[in-house]
Amino acid sequence: MMIRVGFEAAFRFAEPTAVLLVPYIHPSRSYSLRTPEQFLISPTVVVSEYYDTYGNRCGRTVVPAGPVTFRSNALVQDSGLPDPQSPNALQHQIQDLPSDVLLFLLASRYCEVDGELRDKAWSIFGHLPAGWTLVQSVCDFVNSHIRFDYMQARANRTALEAFHERVGVCRDYMHLAITFCRCLNIPARYCTGYLGDIGVPPAASPMDFSAWFEVFLGGQWHTFDARNNTPRIGRILMARGRDAADVALTTTFGVNKLESFNVWTDEVA
């Protein structure tokens, strides 16, 4: 199937401002692009591209004072199949994990691995068999524990706060699930990208970027989604990291105001 994806984000900057960007489809999905990915900034400025620690394609620029709009558009071919399932994938002993995976066992900005959530993780899930079933049990718990409310979105909510507040948006579901997995010695990393309402009833909330997470089992990374908690069609990855702080669409170094924001991801003939 073909999926049209993109976004438009309009800001107003108080003065010329340095901006870091993660607006591109992830290099691992570049093979599926059927038209060149278009990323534009208005007014036009020079964007220097680089790849970050996690292999994400990023940009950096300086925008002028006043209104600035970032816009992206791409046509992507997708298999049309739901997320692959590997129920027999086994959990590794820590000493057997690849060195580059160990980072995703550690605490990060929004995922407090040490402390209360470690105790909660072992008290809730410690009796369960390791591996795929354990991760799915984490997703089941988080899915029922948190109530989705777009109006309750908060950029600084951590996994521990999501656990206690029991409300949030997709990033909050993933932060809590990632934290539980790390507490249970399962490497887990945060993902962001496009996920439209393909094969499911349209959501009541506005279209936005989606979050999911990946865990390392059986020698490879596998996709899980604690918010939807069911295999979905048409995930298009943009970036991966330890948590949402590593994959922000824009990181700005000056005063600004977001004036409008739109995301689209639609199946096309």
Here the tokens at position 72 are 């992206």
pLDDT at 163: 98
- The upper half-sphere exposure of residue 27, i.e. CA atoms within 13 Å in the direction of its Cβ, equals 9
pLDDT at 251: 97
Cα-Cα-Cα-Cα dihedral sign, residues 184, 187, 193, 199? negative
pLDDT at 250: 97
Sequence-separated (6 or more) residues with CB below 8 Å from residue 137: 125, 128
**For the residues of the chain, what is the DSSP string, one character each?**
-EEEEEEEEEEEESS-EEEEE--SPPGGGGGGBSSPPEEEEES----EEEE-TTS-EEEEEEEPSEEEEEEEEEEEE---PBPP--TTPPPPPGGGS-GGGGGGGS-BTTB--SSHHHHHHHHHHTTSPSSHHHHHHHHHHHHHHSEE-GGG--TT--HHHHHHH-EE-HHHHHHHHHHHHHHTT--EEEEEEE---SSSPPPSSPP--EEEEEEEETTEEEEE-TTT-S--B--EEEEEESSGGGS-SEEESS-EEEEEEEEEEEEE-
pLDDT at 137: 98
Q: Note whether 2-79+248-268 and 94-241 share their fold.
A: no
Averaged pLDDT in 10-residue chunks for the chain of 269 residues:
97 98 97 94 98 97 98 96 97 97 98 95 96 98 96 93 97 98 98 95 86 98 97 97 97 96 94
pLDDT at 203: 80
Q: CATH: 3.40.1780.10, 3.40.50.10330, 2.60.40.2250, 2.30.30.90. Which one for 2-79+248-268?
A: 2.60.40.2250
pTM of the prediction?
Answer: 0.96
Helices 132-145, 170-183: crossing angle, 10 deg rounding: 140
At residue 100, the 3 state secondary structure works out as: helix
pLDDT at 116: 95
pLDDT at 202: 85
Strand partners, 57: 51
List, in sequence order, the alpha helices (H) in 5-131: 116-125
Max Cα-Cα span within the chain? 57
pLDDT at 269: 81
> Does the domain made of 94-241 have the CATH classification 3.40.50.2300?
no
Q: Which residue has the tokens 């950029």?
A: 155
The C-alpha atoms of residue 102 and residue 105 are separated, in whole angstroms, by: 6
Domain boundaries, the chain: 2-79+248-268, 94-241
Q: How far is CA 43 from the centre of its chain?
A: 28
pLDDT at 89: 97
Strand partners, 210: 193
